[in-house]
């Protein structure tokens, strides 16, 4: 069947949730406590070891295949506006985000700022910006715009380009 990367990611979350449910059920049912003299069959929770392991292996196999399909898609699908693959974009966006965060602090700095006196200091200290704050503002604005475009381009590809998924 054909689906987008976004649809495949939702399917992956659903499969992981199913596996987590099976794991929880197994944990809760693989052993049980009964009082001495109590009828074990009356308090025994329903649990089939073989069936549970088979179901888990089946879901784990689907998860592996789907993750592989997504990985291949991410490594081979190019985002036209940036001429890089999705996997590169998944590295590029955090890099842009980190740089934007740094520039955000730099653009908001004062050229000269008096430091707060701590303890018994008798000398007044100042912190000086060692860069052009206006240039940092301009770089921030440009980088912020690039980040927004990158996120939008990635979202567009993830929600429109389809891949063949056979799990």
Domain map of the chain by residue range? 2-164
Give the C-alpha separation, 87 to 73, whole Å. Answer: 9
What does pLDDT average to in each consecutive run of 10 residues of the chain (167 residues)?
Answer: 97 98 97 94 95 98 98 97 98 98 97 84 88 98 98 97 95
Query: pLDDT value at position 146?
Result: 98
Query: pLDDT value at position 50?
Result: 98
End-to-end, the C-alpha distance of the chain in Å comes to 9
Query: pLDDT value at position 117?
Result: 75
Query: pLDDT value at position 59?
Result: 98
Residue 107: how many other CB atoms lie within 10 Å: 16
Whether the Cβ atoms of residue 8 and residue 66 lie closer than 8 Å to each other: yes
Per DSSP bridges, beta strands 126-128 and 162-164 are unpaired
Query: pLDDT value at position 118?
Result: 74
Distance of CA 67 to the CA centre of its chain: 14
Q: Among 65, 60, 77, which residue's Cα sits nearest to residue 163?
A: 77
């Amino acid at each position: 069947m054909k689906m987008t990367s976004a649809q495949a990611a939702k399917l992956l979350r659903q499969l992981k949730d199913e596996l987590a449910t099976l794991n929880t059920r197994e944990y809760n049912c693989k052993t049980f406590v009964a009082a001495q003299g109590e009828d074990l069959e009356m308090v025994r929770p329903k649990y089939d070891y073989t069936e549970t392991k088979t179901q888990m292996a089946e879901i784990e196999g689907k998860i592996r295949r789907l993750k592989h399909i997504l990985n291949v898609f991410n490594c081979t699908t190019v985002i036209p506006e940036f001429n890089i693959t999705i996997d590169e974009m998944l590295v590029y966006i955090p890099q842009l985000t980190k740089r934007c965060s740094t520039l955000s602090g730099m653009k908001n700095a004062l050229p000269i700022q008096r430091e707060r006196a701590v303890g018994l200091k008798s000398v007044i200290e100042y912190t000086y910006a060692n860069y052009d704050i206006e240039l940092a503002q301009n770089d921030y604005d440009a980088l912020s715009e690039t980040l927004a475009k990158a996120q939008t381009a990635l979202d567009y590809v993830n929600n429109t380009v389809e891949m063949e998924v056979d799990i």
